[in-house]
């Protein structure tokens, strides 16, 4: 463990630490950010009234829209002279959301990423190739600072340029790859397609640090098989910090949340009510130490659940389930709710189907139509038409029985679905265009 004292702290002691920090953070936001003052006042809540966790429910939520409305620096709680870095989301659907960090915040960010890497077994003896995009996105700099804090040799490669990625892996003896899971598959594809006979074991790669988008257990197995590595999940969001809000451990079963920095709640996304441990809902974050950009009850839209399971790794930190999707990514097809990750799970159960797919949703009249375009491998593609039509029929049947949706299945030829270097685009929703 990178920070044994914190990561294995008895739950009661952690609660105490959180409560003290919550009081500070709530007051910090109220005193220094006009929007929080306005919202708290309107809800009849004052930081002095905050005495116990039970008071959380009285505090209003912060939403992405609040961030957009206060673009760019309106939610900062310190003068700009104290802010040393900003990150931002791309803002394709409105104003970008901008977050700021002070020197202390930068240290916290590095700390959580160093803890995450250590929990996958990465150490100062490793050579970490960071293929997350460097720039306003938190993936590049986030992993970079954390890996350096851990003491690992860090290669600031950024995303893309697969031949060069492979060259560096070979020449520098990379042992850890950090990238989106979809880009990791892209690399596997490239090797299989362009370097026949290449032996993965000739590389020193052993660990993958994958996140920034939802990925299923099936996808994990596929990446592990093809790249001959152990693949671990890293989760986070720029509004809260970036990668390292939570991380898997050696158990590969749930992600430990770094609770000394983030207080987490699960709410019912429709009513806003707090749900007990073990129930699925939207995860809401309150920052406990952040100076530049405090987030009080930030609604993430990510769907997961929290639980404690006496993890064998020795960490006492609460766990969250692998995030299966965002409530705003959830597709409602003729009344049936379905997440892209469920579609991925079904697809990956079929032989000959590649982990590259796109979901196109359209509206014909008043009815929603869903088409799943999925790539098949060379073998199936070159087989008789009958085998292909059987495959698409079987997939359609499975969608119907497992998910309750009628989807049109289109088998796409090998290498025809666009590849990603960062987050994969899985859904094309023509209803919104």
In the complex, which residues of this chain contact ligand DLL (CB under 6 A)?
Answer: 89, 132, 137-139, 211-214, 233-238, 242-243, 300, 302, 323, 326
Q: Which is nearer to ligand DLL, 288 or 323 (CB)?
A: 323
Q: Which is nearer to ligand DLL, 227 or 234 (CB)?
A: 234
Other Cβ atoms less than 10 A from the Cβ of 393: the count is 11
Q: Which is nearer to ligand DLL, 89 or 158 (CB)?
A: 89
Q: Which is nearer to ligand DLL, 40 or 182 (CB)?
A: 182
Token pair of 199 as six digits:
């032996």
Other Cβ atoms less than 10 A from the Cβ of 187: the count is 22
Q: Looking at the DSSP assignment, which residues form a beta bridge with residue 369?
A: 362
Q: Which is nearer to ligand DLL, 50 or 235 (CB)?
A: 235
How far apart are CB 414 and ligand DLL at their closest, in Å?
27
d(CA 100, CA 294): 9
Helix, strand, or coil here: 341? Answer: helix
Given a contact cutoff of 8 angstroms between Cβ atoms, the answer to whether 212 and 180 are in contact is: yes
Given a contact cutoff of 8 angstroms between Cβ atoms, the answer to whether 66 and 46 are in contact is: no
d(CA 319, CA 256): 4
Burial of 379 (0-12, 13-18, 19+ CB in 10 A): exposed
Given a contact cutoff of 8 angstroms between Cβ atoms, the answer to whether 90 and 96 are in contact is: yes
Tell me the helix, strand and coil percentages in the chain, rounded to 5: 35, 25, 40
Q: Which is nearer to ligand DLL, 116 or 358 (CB)?
A: 116
How far apart are CB 268 and ligand DLL at their closest, in Å?
18
d(CA 234, CA 64): 22
How far apart are CB 181 and ligand DLL at their closest, in Å?
8
How far apart are CB 259 and ligand DLL at their closest, in Å?
18
Burial of 388 (0-12, 13-18, 19+ CB in 10 A): middle
Q: Which is nearer to ligand DLL, 25 or 238 (CB)?
A: 238
Q: Which is nearer to ligand DLL, 50 or 210 (CB)?
A: 210
CA torsion through residues 199, 204, 205, 206, sign: positive
Q: Which is nearer to ligand DLL, 77 or 88 (CB)?
A: 88
Q: Which is nearer to ligand DLL, 231 or 409 (CB)?
A: 231
How far apart are CB 214 and ligand DLL at their closest, in Å?
4
How far apart are CB 132 and ligand DLL at their closest, in Å?
5
How far apart are CB 393 and ligand DLL at their closest, in Å?
31
How far apart are CB 158 and ligand DLL at their closest, in Å?
12
CA distances from 145 to 90, 126, 130, 140, 160 (A): 22, 15, 11, 9, 20
d(CA 46, CA 60): 11
Map 172-240 to HEC letters: HCCCEEEECHHHHHHHHHHHHHHCCCCCHHHCCCCEEEEECCCCCHHHHHHHHHHHCCEEEEEEECCCC
How far apart are CB 412 and ligand DLL at their closest, in Å?
24
Residue sitting closest to ligand DLL (CB) = 211
d(CA 178, CA 429): 29
How far apart are CB 244 and ligand DLL at their closest, in Å?
8
């Amino acid at each position: 463990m990178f920070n044994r004292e914190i990561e294995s702290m008895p739950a009661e002691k952690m609660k105490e630490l959180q409560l003290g920090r919550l009081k500070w953070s709530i007051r910090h936001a109220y005193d220094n950010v006009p929007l929080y003052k306005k919202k708290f006042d309107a809800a009849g809540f004052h930081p002095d009234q905050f005495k116990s966790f039970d008071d959380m429910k009285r505090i209003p939520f912060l939403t992405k829209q609040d961030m957009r409305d206060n673009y760019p620096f309106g939610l900062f709680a310190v003068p700009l002279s104290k802010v040393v870095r900003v990150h931002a989301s791309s803002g394709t659907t409105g104003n970008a959301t901008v977050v700021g960090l002070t020197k202390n915040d930068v240290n916290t960010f590095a700390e959580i990423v160093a803890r995450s890497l250590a929990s996958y077994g990465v150490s100062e003896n490793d050579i970490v190739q960071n293929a997350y995009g460097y720039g306003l996105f938190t993936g590049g700099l986030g992993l970079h600072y954390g890996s350096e804090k851990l003491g690992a040799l860090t290669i600031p490669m950024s995303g893309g340029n697969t031949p060069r990625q492979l060259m560096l892996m070979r020449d520098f003896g990379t042992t850890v790859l950090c990238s989106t899971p979809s880009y990791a598959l892209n690399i596997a594809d490239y090797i299989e397609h362009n370097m026949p006979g290449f032996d993965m074991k000739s590389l020193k790669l052993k660990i993958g640090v994958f996140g920034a988008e939802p990925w299923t257990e099936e996808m994990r197995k596929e990446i592990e098989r093809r790249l001959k590595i152990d693949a671990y999940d890293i989760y986070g969001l720029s509004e809260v910090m970036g990668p390292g809000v939570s991380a898997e451990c050696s158990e590969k079963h749930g992600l430990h949340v770094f609770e000394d920095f983030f207080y987490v709640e699960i709410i019912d996304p429709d009513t806003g009510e707090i749900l007990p441990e073990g129930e699925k809902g939207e995860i809401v974050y309150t920052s406990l130490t952040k100076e530049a950009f405090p987030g009080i009850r930030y609604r993430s839209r990510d769907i997961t659940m929290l639980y404690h399971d006496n993890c064998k790794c020795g960490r006492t930190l609460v766990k969250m389930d692998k995030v299966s999707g965002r409530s705003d990514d959830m597709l409602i097809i003729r009344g049936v709710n379905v997440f892209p990750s469920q579609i991925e799970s079904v697809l990956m159960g079929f032989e000959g189907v590649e982990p590259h797919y796109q979901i196109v949703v359209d509206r014909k009249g008043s009815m929603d139509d869903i088409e799943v375009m999925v790539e098949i491998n060379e073998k199936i593609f070159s087989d008789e038409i009958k085998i292909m039509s059987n495959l698409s029929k079987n997939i359609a049947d499975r969608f119907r029985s497992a998910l309750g949706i009628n989807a049109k299945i289109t088998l796409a030829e090998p290498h025809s679905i666009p590849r990603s270097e960062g987050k994969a685009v899985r859904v094309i929703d023509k209803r919104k265009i």
